[in-house]
């Protein structure tokens, strides 16, 4: 199980949802999936084209979170058991423009 390491920007993004109980539950669920199985089908994990080190995972239909695996295997694929840096939590279009 990878350790999730939030960045300052990620924490700032989450803070916007402090009073939204439904969204907080969705974020917690997505983070639990990411921590237990980063390739869980419900996350719909995909690479971010304009930032080759960043990936994104689905929180709900509108929001996604971006993250960066901290270690790679010799085959250049991420080591999904290594720590994961949580970068941003934004709506879909904004996240793909500004993943960090």
3-state secondary structure of 1: coil
Q: What are the extents of the domains in the chain?
A: 4-97
Q: What is the C-alpha separation between 59 and 7, in angstroms, rounded?
A: 17
**Under 8 Å between Cβ of 68 and 4:** no
Closest residue by Cα to residue 98 from 12, 5, 2: 12
**Under 8 Å between Cβ of 14 and 89:** yes
Q: pLDDT digits over 15-37, tens only?
A: 999 999 999 999 999 999 999 99
Q: Give the bridge partners for 84, in sequence order.
A: 4, 69
For the domain 4-97, what is the CATH superfamily, name and number?
A: RelE-like (3.30.2310.20)
Q: pLDDT digits over 38-82, tens only?
A: 999 999 999 999 898 999 999 999 999 999 999 999 998 899 999
Q: What is the C-alpha separation between 66 and 45, in angstroms, rounded?
A: 9
User: pTM of the entire structure?
Assistant: 0.91
């Amino acid at each position: 199980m990878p350790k999730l390491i939030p960045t300052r920007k990620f924490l700032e993004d989450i803070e916007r949802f402090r009073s939204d109980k439904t969204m907080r539950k969705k974020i917690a669920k997505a983070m639990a999936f990411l921590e237990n199985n980063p390739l869980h089908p419900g996350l719909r994990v995909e690479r971010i084209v304009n930032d080759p080190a960043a990936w994104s995972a689905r929180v709900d239909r509108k929001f996604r979170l971006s993250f960066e695996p901290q270690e790679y295997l010799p085959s250049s694929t991420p080591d999904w058991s290594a720590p994961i840096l949580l970068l941003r939590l934004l709506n879909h279009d904004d996240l793909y423009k500004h993943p960090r």
